[in-house]
Structure 1
Amino acid sequence: MKRLIDIAGSLAGLVLLSPVMLVAGIAIRRRMGAPVLFVQERPGLGGSPFRMYKFRSMLDACDADGQPLSDAERLTDLGRLLRSTSIDELPGLWNVLKGEMSLVGPRPLLMEYLPRYNAEQARRNDVRPGLTGWAQVNGRNALSWDDKFALDIWYVDHRSLLLDMKIIWLTVLRIIQRDGISAEGQATMAKFQGTGKNS
């Protein structure tokens, strides 16, 4: 049933939100140039990699040594708008339709984080990653990593269709309120460095 809802929801979203995605794509192309989409390998169900799609929100800018500038320096005004309204996540509906993601689940993080998880944190990969999740409606990037992982694991243990419907509804409210877009003192979210434990 969850997969059927994902298919129906992603199809409806791609059709109904196509004008928004078209305008966003044109704005990104004009303001930031190509590419319009940000494509990155992320861990899916069981940690298996897949290519996740988002609208690009940062410039490909480097310092004199060829190192990428910080997120705060690369994030544009347009990028902040896309992130605060979650429009940057809309291309992920294609990942949902393909079965690589779900509408609701723990957010797919970076592949480099996989070896940094302890056994409990790694349980977040027991379900498909989601466009939105329990952590996103309870603080998003304003949460600490410990709190975020605890909420992800709580979802894995308590997931249900009713809970998914609640999370989708709360996601709409959070987007309107624009809560938890970034961590305190950060343009986005500081990288997860691990807990120092492997089990």
Structure 2
Amino acid sequence: MIPYRVVKRVVDVAGAAGLIVAASPVIAVTAIAVRKNLGSPVLFTQERPGKDGLVFRMYKFRSMKSVDREAGLVSDKDRLTRFGSWLRSTSLDELPSLLNVLQGDMSFVGPRPLLVSYLERYSPEQARRHEVRPGITGLAQSSGRNHLNWEQRFQLDVKYVDSMSAALDLRILFRTLAAVLKRSGITADGEATMSEFTGSQKTDPDAVMVDTHESAT
């Protein structure tokens, strides 16, 4: 029997290639809208750690203004415009990440790629999220998105690594679609996006348990 990881990669390549072609008009219109509302560059690129912690360059449509200390544009809250918020709520900003899937840096489903600086802040258990390719969406995103705290998100990331299957991937994709349509979980409470991960705190393991069936949006 062919291992699911091999099948998953084939599906990723075929799906990403097909979507890039099918969604090309949407991609073009979104690029024009970003250029009109936020200027250049249209794409946001940033180094992120992928499978085994190897760093790659991730692509997204830009949703924030550039940092401008003189204008007071420093924090995410200051830089995120109404258009940028809408772009994120629809997940259209993720379309360029299809290139990352096609290149093999990412998968459709897997733990979200975070900042390179977080690598040294993970506990050994949390670092297991890098045993698989990162995803455009994942178990955490389909179970509450940015409404989850970091401990909950990492717990779900590791759960995905241990439980990865075609059935789970399909469930995550359907639940992600539902969350996008409802535009739920876009930001963390009191944050424009998500607060910085500064390292794990000692907590009661039972306090961060998440029911991945009941918490879906």
Q: State the TM-score bracket (shorter-chain normalisation).
A: over 0.9
Q: State the distance in 2 between where 1:129 and 1:41 align.
A: 13
Asked if the contact 1:53/1:91 (under 8 Å) is kept, the reply is yes
Shift, 1:32, TM fit: 1.0
1:172 to 158, 161, 177: 177
Matched, 1:33 2:59: no
Q: Can you give the 5+ residue segments of structure 1 that lack an aligned partner in the other structure?
A: none
Q: State the distance in 2 between where 1:150 and 1:182 align.
A: 19
Task: Write out aligned runs for 1:1-199 (5 A).
Answer: 1-64=7-70, 69-195=74-200
Matching residue's letter, 1:124: R
Matching residue's letter, 1:13: L
Could you tell me the TM-score, scaled by structure 2's length? Answer: 0.87
Residue 180 of structure 1 aligns to a residue whose secondary structure is coil
Matching residue's letter, 1:174: A
What's the CA shift string for 1:119-170, capped at 9, x where partnerless? 0000000000000000000011110000000010100000001111111111
Residue 48 of structure 2 aligns to a residue whose secondary structure is strand
Matching residue's letter, 1:151: L
Could you tell me the TM-score, scaled by structure 1's length? Answer: 0.95
Runs of 4+ aligned structure 1 residues displaced above 6 Å come to none
Higher alpha-carbon deviation: 79-88 or 68-77: 68-77
Asked if the contact 1:116/1:196 (under 8 Å) is kept, the reply is no
Residue 155 of structure 1 aligns to a residue whose secondary structure is helix
Asked if the contact 1:39/1:52 (under 8 Å) is kept, the reply is yes
Higher alpha-carbon deviation: 144-153 or 15-24: 15-24
Shift, 1:68, TM fit: 5.5
Asked if the contact 2:107/2:133 (under 8 Å) is kept, the reply is yes
Q: Can you give the 5+ residue segments of structure 2 that lack an aligned partner in the other structure?
A: 1-6, 203-217
What's the CA shift string for 1:15-58, capped at 9, x where partnerless? 11111111110011111110000000000000000000000000
Matching residue's letter, 1:127: V
Matching residue's letter, 2:43: L
Q: State the distance in 1 between where 2:60 and 2:89 align.
A: 14
Matching residue's letter, 1:37: L
What's the CA shift string for 1:48-71, capped at 9, x where partnerless? 00000000000013223x985110
Matching residue's letter, 1:131: I
